[in-house]
């Protein structure tokens, strides 16, 4: 068996003498770039290291598979760029900017030094994908309870520090056990995925939907007072109520909602969740398919 060897492609390929001239700098750069698994920090290090060889006023990078953009400085008239590839994997395009033209030598230098980004980018990609998988519910493809616990703790600290509102909505699908009993667990799973899609369609890009467990979901709403969270919960309740599922004999899908907001310095993630759970339980006791706040 012949071992598979990674091949690096940086377009266009610089002359071999450029690689030789920069061998020491490439080694230093490679060592520096191996110290981080954070995309923005990686390009910060890269920009600082190459500034002496290719003075520039700013840069722009886009990672196609992670769909993340890193920018620094400002865009200017002239550009110098490198396309980054490893075998068939596309690691995006790096563009440097400045107000005077880049020389051919500088373009070749960038091609040589940019190849040092390839393996750090591969490591970051694998790390980010693993982290995303660990924080994603496999069935519904929304964030899972582990992600909620980590993010809610952080958001509570930020909200208290910045004195900004923070609210959550706890959602429990009504009569879910009977759906599993009457239509089977496969249909129950499909319904959970459908509800998750509905929740994602209803929230802002900055809001995050989590599967809390079983048939329960949580929506984390930063910079949102309890009045705004209640309005959103009512909108979602209406959307679900008017969504009938033909495979469930046209039965409507309803849910009960508990809404709570962070109060003061003595408040925290667990008390916030406990109040939302108490409000949701009250909505169940009052007939289901309604919103309660606590």
- The single residue listed with the structure tokens 């209803």 is 202
Residue range 263-268: mean pLDDT, rounded? 87
* 215 in catalytic set: yes
Mean pLDDT for all residues in the chain: 89
Task: Output the pTM of the full model.
Answer: 0.67
pLDDT given at position 2: 46
Active-site annotation holder among 106, 215, 216, 294: 215
Per-residue pLDDT tens for 207-260? 999 999 899 999 999 999 999 999 999 999 999 988 766 666 667 789 999 999
Nearest of 16, 25, 31, 11 to residue 93 by alpha carbon: 11
Burial pattern 204-232, b for ≥16 Cβ within 10 A else e, equals eeebbbbbbeebbbbbbbbbbebeebbeb
Is residue 180 predicted with pLDDT exceeding 50?
yes
> Residue 91 in contact with residue 125, Cβ under 8 Å?
yes
């Amino acid at each position: 068996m012949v071992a598979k060897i990674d091949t690096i492609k940086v377009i266009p390929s610089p002359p071999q003498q450029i690689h030789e001239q920069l061998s020491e700098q490439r080694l230093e750069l490679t060592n520096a770039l191996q110290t981080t698994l954070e995309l923005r920090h990686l390009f910060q290090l890269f920009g600082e290291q190459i500034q002496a060889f290719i003075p520039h006023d700013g840069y722009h990078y886009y990672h196609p598979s992670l769909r993340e953009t890193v920018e620094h400085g400002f865009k200017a008239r002239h550009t110098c760029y490198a396309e980054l590839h490893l075998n068939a994997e596309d690691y995006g395009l790096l563009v440097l900017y400045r107000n005077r033209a880049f020389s051919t030598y500088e373009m070749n230098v960038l091609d040589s030094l940019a190849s040092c980004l390839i393996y750090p980018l591969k490591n970051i990609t694998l790390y980010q994908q693993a982290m995303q998988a660990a924080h994603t519910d496999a069935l519904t493809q929304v964030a899972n309870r582990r992600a909620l616990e980590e993010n809610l703790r952080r958001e509570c600290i930020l909200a208290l520090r910045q004195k900004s509102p923070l609210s959550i909505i706890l959602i429990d699908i009504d009569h879910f056990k009977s759906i599993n009993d009457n239509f089977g667990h496969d249909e129950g799973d499909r319904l959970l995925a459908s509800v998750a899609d509905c929740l994602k369609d209803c929230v802002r890009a900055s809001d995050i939907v989590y599967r809390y467990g079983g048939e329960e979901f949580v929506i984390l709403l930063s910079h949102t007072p309890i009045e705004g969270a209640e309005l959103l919960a009512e909108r979602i309740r209406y959307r679900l109520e008017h969504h009938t599922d033909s495979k469930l004999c046209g039965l409507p899908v309803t849910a009960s909602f508990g809404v709570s907001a962070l109060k003061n310095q003595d408040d925290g993630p667990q008390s916030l969740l406990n109040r939302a759970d108490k409000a949701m339980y009250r909505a169940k006791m009052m007939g289901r398919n309604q919103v309660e706040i606590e």
